[in-house]
Structure formats: C-alpha cells, structure tokens
Homo-oligomer: A and B are copies of this chain.
Amino acid sequence: MQSRSETTARQIDFYFDFISPYGYLASLRIDEIGARYGIPVAWHPILIGVTVLKIMGLKPLMETPLKRDYVVREIARYCRRHGVTLGRPLDGPMMNPLPAGRAFAWMLRHAPEHARPFARAVFDAYWREGRDLSVAEELRAAARIAGVPDEMIAAALSSEEASALLRESIERAVARGVFGSPFVLVDDEPFFGVDKLELIEEWIRCNGW
C-alpha cells in the first residue's frame, strides 16, 4: 500500500480567531510542525462570535461559570510550560476582532505573501503587548512591523470586499466542521484545541492512524 503522502498533497489547515488566547498559543507552534514534516500550513480566519456564539449557541468562555477560572489556570500553565508571556489579562476588555479579521482575509486574497506576517504581528501586538487592535492605527502599526506596505494595509482597511471575504472564510470553515480556535484539519481529520498539537504530529507521522 502506498503511504498517503505519496498519493495526495497534504496540507495543514489552521483556523483561528485573533481574540482567542488558545489560537495565539497555537499560532506560535503550528508552522514549526508543518516545517518539521514538510507539509504546508494554511492559515484561515474565523470568528468565534459567529461559530461558537451564534451557530453553536454557547457563551463566551470568560462569561461561563467555572470554565472562566479554569481557563485562567490552564492558560497560565501552558504559558509556563512553553515559555510564553501574555501581555494582557484574559478577563480584561477584548478587542473587536472584525477589523483585523477582515484585513487578514483581504490580504490572503490580494497579497498572500504579506498575510501571515501581518497575522503574526496582530497576534503579538494584541496578546504579547496588550494593544487594542480594534483601532486602525494599531493595525497599521502591526502591518508596518510585518513589513506590509502602508498603501496595502490602507487598501485592506478601506476595502468593502474584506467583509465578504472574511464571511466566506467562516462559511467554508463551518462547512468543514470547524467551530473553535484553534482548530486544525489534516487529511480532513479535525483537531480542536491547542492541546491537540502533539496528537496532530503523531497523526502526521503515522500518516493517519
């Protein structure tokens, strides 16, 4: 029997929302995993406000009794274990993730080479530096750090198409069963949560169990 990798081009699809701390933590490791196994990683924006809140009918983690305190402990443990320092409290005010998500969706379509560096810069500015990425000026600053030309981020932020592109990304994700952040699909196999990263590696190594 041929192994799957000889017959099909594999891809790791990585779904996240910028306001998700678990999504941020996964973003720091997912590309390394792809590189380790020579598998390309595609980053996709979603909004948990659409998937988790509207479609699933659940409430935000930090507004859920018991879960809220658990998330604080779990994220702190993860950060100690992986040497990450967050620059904002988990229960503080959150940014509006729409402007960043739309700009990222626009770049994926129109300037794909800039999209991932921009997303990384947004994640870092929000989660490591505690900035409010709801604000256009902060998004422009993140874009500059990522080496995105000023006129390009300006085009992304003023685009009317960006909103539709983000919506389409979410619709495609939901059609594949994606709901949370982070969510990873490899060989159409779904993995939800940052604690699945080791399992994803095992899946890849074993070429699907």
A residues contacting B by CB (< 8 A) are: 51, 55-59, 64-67, 69-70, 73-74, 77, 80-81, 174, 177-179, 189-190, 192-193, 195-196, 198-199, 209
Q: Are B195 and A69 in contact (CB under 8 A)?
A: no
Q: Are B195 and A80 in contact (CB under 8 A)?
A: no
**Given the interface contacts A57-B65, A70-B177, A177-B70, does A199 sit within 8 Å of B195 by beta carbon?**
yes
* Distance between Cα atoms of A126 and B167 in the complex (Å): 43
| Shortest distance between the CB of A209 and any CB in chain B (Å) | 5
**Which residue of B80, B190, B199, B209 contacts A209 across the interface (Cβ within 8 Å)?**
B80
**Which residue of B66, B190, B198, B199 contacts A70 across the interface (Cβ within 8 Å)?**
B190
* Contact partners of A69 in chain B: CB under 8 A: 177
* Distance between Cα atoms of A73 and B57 in the complex (Å): 21
| Shortest distance between the CB of A87 and any CB in chain B (Å) | 21
**Given the interface contacts A196-B195, A209-B77, does A179 sit within 8 Å of B66 by beta carbon?**
yes
* Distance between Cα atoms of A80 and B193 in the complex (Å): 20
* Contact partners of A74 in chain B: CB under 8 A: 190, 192
| Shortest distance between the CB of A198 and any CB in chain B (Å) | 8
Q: Are B73 and A64 in contact (CB under 8 A)?
A: no
Q: Are A55 and B59 in contact (CB under 8 A)?
A: no
Given contacts A58-B59, A193-B195, 19 further A-B pairs with CB under 8 A are: A51-B66, A56-B66, A56-B67, A57-B59, A57-B64, A57-B65, A66-B177, A66-B178, A66-B179, A67-B179, A70-B179, A70-B192, A73-B177, A73-B190, A77-B189, A80-B209, A81-B209, A195-B195, A195-B199
